[in-house]
Structure 1
Amino acid sequence: MILSVLKENIENIIFDLDGTLWDPMPMSIKAWHTALNRFDCIENPISQEDIQGIMGMQHNLVGEKLFPYLSKEQQDEVINSCYMQEVQDIKQAGGVLYPGLEAVLETLGKKYDLFIVSNCQAGYIEAFYEYHGLGAYFKDFECSGNTAMSKAINIGMLIKRNTLRNSIYVGDTLGDYLAAEDNKLPFVFADYGFGQVPDIHYAITQIGDLEQML
């Protein structure tokens, strides 16, 4: 669906990362298996469904969901090890970019300022930039790993920090949609990602659809 009313006024596009710009699942599964093998306290092997189930979740809430049988201290130790392994693996081998991503960013970046707000850990976005060489396309980013805040708050912080007006948010989960709503931003649903969102006005089936939509 065309953003007909908003199209002429949009100045900025804020993106989620996982499930929106790339598929981190192969990288994440490998990294988590590597990290969890260091701990004798883990009762069951981590599965793809487990990791997919935490996509979009605020990073500091993941331990309680995946390892409720561990103490908070143990949860933090285990999760931090997994997060550090992810960042290390991204720096070494990257992840799976959605087809045509860089070309789309290059095209959109000529007309709009581009940003990222993700619920990932500190260092994750920087590693994504570093390995794939995409940092130059984005003006700024924020994540829960830096602030320990929700996505809604982080979007608001980024908007205030960059004095943004006329922005939209592109994401793939219900949490992304609610965070956009909290900031009164139009939301574009990436329905090729990891979540489901009911009653969506604007949706894309591949990242390249943004070029036609905007």
Structure 2
Amino acid sequence: MKNIIFDIDGTLWDSTDVVAESWNEAIWEKAGIKANLDGDKLKKLFGKTMDEIGRLMLPDLDDEKRAEVCQACYDYEDAYLEKNSGVFYDGVIDTLNELAKDYNLYVVSNCQVGYIETTLRYANMTDKVKDHLCYGDTGLHKGETIKLLMKKNNIDEAIYVGDTQGDFEACEMANIPMIFASYGFGKVENPAYIINDIKELPALMAKINTK
């Protein structure tokens, strides 16, 4: 097993406080709604697709207005993140650098275009992650996006590192095992593997590859 695909939010970093601030501003300016979002509220939404988040966050807006406000949220978010990094979990950057010596690293996320690139830039990992895809690229369920990334890169087998039940279901759709990052935002029933700290991942991968 030489191919590892990572989720971002709740797996590599936590940007919810920064994103909440940007979305509150966007929603107020574009819809006149005081959303009062915070990091804890966004942790319950992150991992869903952009469209799902919009419906849950702004249920009283019609589809056209909701799409307009959500696009503003993502634009404001991109601007905020250009100046304010999310918080990487302890050991993430060192662990990714260690893994990149022996494994092919990829990223698949339910985010908008540009978010993965920003995360990798802050981690100084742009040249060490082989490829990435997101919901903004494909408009598809994460499982289908994983399959597209694997097909694009001629990957026969891979393992996914994520932190939510949605990640688990995506892995089932893509027919690949999941490593559950229990320190993240969500809970998962019966994952194939569990890590309680990102720094446990190199040893777990070595163990998987000796089976």
Q: Say yes or no: does 1:125 pair with 2:116.
A: yes
CA drift of 1:77 comes to 1.1
From the superposition, tell whether residues 99 and 123 of structure 1 become closer, same or farther in structure 2 (CA, over 3 Å). same
SS at match of 2:127: helix
State the alpha-carbon separation in 2 of the partners of residues 25 and 75 from structure 1: 20
Q: Deviations over 1:71-98 (max 9, x none)?
A: 1111111111111111112221211011
The aligned residue for residue 195 of structure 2 is: 204
The aligned residue for residue 134 of structure 1 is: 125
Q: Say yes or no: does 1:162 pair with 2:153.
A: yes
TM-score by length of 2: 0.92
TM-score by length of 1: 0.91
Unaligned runs of 5+ in 2: 206-211
The aligned residue for residue 209 of structure 2 is: none
The aligned residue for residue 5 of structure 1 is: none
SS at match of 2:136: helix
CA contact (8 A) 2:111 2:134 kept: yes
CA RMSD of aligned residues (A): 1.4
Q: Say yes or no: does 1:14 pair with 2:5.
A: yes
Deviates more, 1:139-148 or 1:198-207: 198-207
CA contact (8 A) 2:16 2:38 kept: no
CA contact (8 A) 1:63 1:79 kept: yes
Q: Say yes or no: does 1:60 pair with 2:87.
A: no
CA contact (8 A) 2:21 2:37 kept: no
CA contact (8 A) 1:188 1:204 kept: yes
Q: Say yes or no: does 1:144 pair with 2:135.
A: yes
- Percent sequence identity over matched residues? 37
CA drift of 1:116 comes to 0.2
CA drift of 1:44 comes to 4.2
Letter in 1 for 2:204: M
Q: Say yes or no: does 1:96 pair with 2:82.
A: no
CA contact (8 A) 1:91 1:130 kept: no
State the alpha-carbon separation in 1 of the partners of residues 89 and 188 from structure 2: 20
Q: Say yes or no: does 1:86 pair with 2:77.
A: yes
The aligned residue for residue 6 of structure 1 is: none
From the superposition, tell whether residues 89 and 43 of structure 1 become closer, same or farther in structure 2 (CA, over 3 Å). closer
CA contact (8 A) 2:28 2:35 kept: no
CA contact (8 A) 2:91 2:198 kept: yes
Q: How does 1:9-48 map to 2 (within 5 A)?
A: 10-42=1-33, 44-48=35-39
Deviates more, 1:46-55 or 1:190-199: 46-55
CA contact (8 A) 2:171 2:178 kept: yes
